[in-house]
Amino acid sequence: MKVVKFSLLVAMVFTTSLFASVASAADETAIKSKLTNMLGLEVDSLADSPIPGLVQVSTNRGFFYVSDDAKYLVQARILNIDEGMRNETEAAYSDLRIEGVKEMESSAITFKAKNEKHVISVFTDTTCGYCRKLHKEVGDLNDMGITVNYLAFPRAGLDSQNYQDMVSVWCAANPQKALTDAKAGNDVATAKCANKVAEQYLLGQKLGVNGTPNIVLPDGSLIPGYQPAGMIAQAIEQAE
């Protein structure tokens, strides 16, 4: 009799686990389907979130959290109270930023430090006043051993003259000079080539960039706006 009961218990546990597995797969499918078909988001990946019952979803418009049953969507920052209010969402973004800017490194416009110690990636727009202010300090950053990789983020979008102008900068015979000229308010000769301006802009959206300049530090943390060269160097040192 005990053997029969034990066998029945094993069968019940196995069946419950199987149903849970199927339900989990069904929820994942529902999450992807709703975000794509109902909200127009492109889902890159799903992962466990720090909060039970919520799934962390990486999309082309940044991170979201979705309930297991795909019923609720949350756009928020998760703070870990027990770990000194650590921003868990920002930690996840940091990993994504490091990977993303590395993939775009070869297509960036680079102002390289002679004695390079650190590399930062800056999402920039040629018409942005604070981007122009930061660009005047690139020499100071280089002198401090900080290489600057510029990534394009035309604020007016991909269907704009702003985008076309930035393509011309990236396709110029001397992109560094063209970028400097454009940020000085000078006209840049129209140029076309195979480029990744659009891909850089879409990457920025995925990484939570919604303005310029946005500065990605070596550890993946983000400075959302202009900071003087000295403050940037200090932020890098504090993040090490």
Active site residues per annotation: 125, 128, 131, 155
CB atoms within 10 A of CB 112: 12
Quick check: bond before 224 cis, omega within 30?
A: no
User: Which letter, b or e, does each residue of 22-32 get, where b requires 16 or more Cβ atoms within 10 Å of its Cβ?
Assistant: eeeeebbeebb
Give the integer Cα–Cα distance in Å for 217 and 236. 6
| Cβ count near 195 (within 10 Å) | 18
Identify which of 109, 140, 224, 133 has the alpha carbon closest to the alpha carbon of residue 183. Answer: 133
